[in-house]
Amino acid sequence: MELEVRHLRALCAIADTGSLHKAARQLGVSQPSLTTQLRRIENALGAELFARGRTGCRPTALGRSVLSRARPLVDGMAALVTETRAEAARADGPRLRVGSTASRALPGWLRRLRARFPGTDVALRVDVSARTLLREVAAGRLDVAFVHEVEGSPLPVPEGLDHRVLVAREPQFVSLSPAHPAAAHPVVDLADLARDHWMVDPAVDGEWDGLRRVLTAAGIDPPLLHGDYHTAASLIALGEAVAPCQPTSVPREDLAVRPLLGDPLAVRLLLYARPATPLAPLHATLADAYREAAHRAPPYRAWLAEGGAAPPCLPGTPA
């Protein structure tokens, strides 16, 4: 006998209810039928999966191992059915498939897109890799992608994509513990962070090379750590690391955000789309959202007020 999803669903029901009788009722079958099905499953696997007793059924050690693998499959199948039905229900309506690397402008952009295109199903995919998102646009699985390109590390762009520049050079700030001595200054010199552990996510295209290039140019060689930025935030709050961050980052009680002297780290913000996708309204709504995010970040707002080179989308009041 080959195991099917219905068999795995039966095992999960027995484990969840702790009883063949209750599981049978939940599954809409008779108890004798479920008992026979369980016996066949155990025979197929060659081991007992549940210990039967007066108090009900309890998974054996092997049963727990099987269940740990079965549950994701059952949940995945349920999600597949639900999502497919939902997609089928809206298949006749307009869709806009948006991809993006992490950005604090995203919530505002999605809000504006849904207001600008009422009745359109706006779906979002976030990925740390700009290259992956651009390949998805080229393959027709995304309509548009908002990505960042690390200065000095050009992205390989598939042929045939249209693009608009949102910000030609966005400075990257640094996040550090408020207790760090450098946090006492409004602007931080790289030299003051020479002994700190710098954390960078190697999955972000170009970021590792870009940071190493800037640190080498500054004549410093601090220890570098690899990790995602959720982990970085925890280490930074403890004073164990510092990390580059977007200027739109909002400081917290346990996290300070400061510009770097001379703005040595920077990225270019770009919007790519398939040729049939109208770029002008997408770019306009994104520019409004970015402006809003910039004005909500005190360090970035101060940097701009003190003479930072404002990106074209920033002048004026947030939309």
Q: Read off the pLDDT of residues 296-317 as tens digits, 9 standing for 90 and up.
A: 999 999 998 887 655 555 544 3
The more confident residue out of 102 and 316 is 102
Quick one: tokens of 166?
């949102």
Which residue, chain included where needed, has tokens 């954390």?
199
Q: Which long-range contacts (CB under 8 A, 24 or more apart) does 217-221 make?
A: 217/264, 218/190, 218/191, 218/264, 220/190, 220/191, 220/193, 220/194, 221/194
- Distance between CA 207 and CA 210 in Å, rounded? 5
Going 26 to 29 to 33 to 36, the CA torsion angle's sign is negative
Q: What is the mean predicted confidence (pLDDT) over 166-189?
A: 95
- Distance between CA 254 and CA 136 in Å, rounded? 37
Dump pLDDT digits (tens) for 227-283.
Answer: 777 778 888 988 999 999 999 999 989 999 999 999 999 999 999 999 888 899 999
Instruction: Give the CA distances from residue 10 to residues 1, 175, 226, in Å, rounded to whole numbers and listed in that order.
Output: 15, 50, 42
- Distance between CA 231 and CA 227 in Å, rounded? 6
Grade residue 26 by pLDDT with cuts at 50, 70 and 90.
Answer: confident
Going 15 to 21 to 22 to 23, the CA torsion angle's sign is positive
The DSSP code sequence of the chain is: ----HHHHHHHHHHHHHS-HHHHHHHHTS-HHHHHHHHHHHHHHHTS--EEEETTEEEE-HHHHHHHHHHHHHHHHHHHHHHHHHHHHHTTTS-EEEEEE-S-TTHHHHHHHHHHHSTT-EEEEEE-S-HHHHHHHHHTTS-SEEEEEEETT----PPTT-EEEEEEEEEEPEEEE-TTSGGGGSSSB-GGGGTTSPEEE-TTSTTHHHHHHHHHHHTT----EEE--HHHHHHHHHTTS-BEEE-TTPPPBTTBEEEPBTT---EEEEEEEE-TTS-HHHHHHHHHHHHHHHHHT-HHHHHHHHTT----TT-SS---
Query: What pLDDT is attached to residue 160?
Result: 92
List, in sequence order, every residue forming a beta bridge with 98; answer none if it has no partner. 124, 144
Other Cβ atoms closer than 10 A to 28: 6
Query: What pLDDT is attached to residue 301?
Result: 92
Grade residue 54 by pLDDT with cuts at 50, 70 and 90.
Answer: confident
**How far from the centroid of its chain's Cα atoms is residue 41's Cα?**
39
Quick one: tokens of 307?
């003479």
- Is 95's pLDDT higher than 80? yes
- Distance between CA 159 and CA 148 in Å, rounded? 18
Q: What is the mean predicted confidence (pLDDT) over 207-232?
A: 87
Q: Which amino acid is at 247?
A: P
Going 81 to 83 to 89 to 93, the CA torsion angle's sign is negative
- Is 87's pLDDT higher than 80? no
Query: What pLDDT is attached to residue 265?
Result: 95
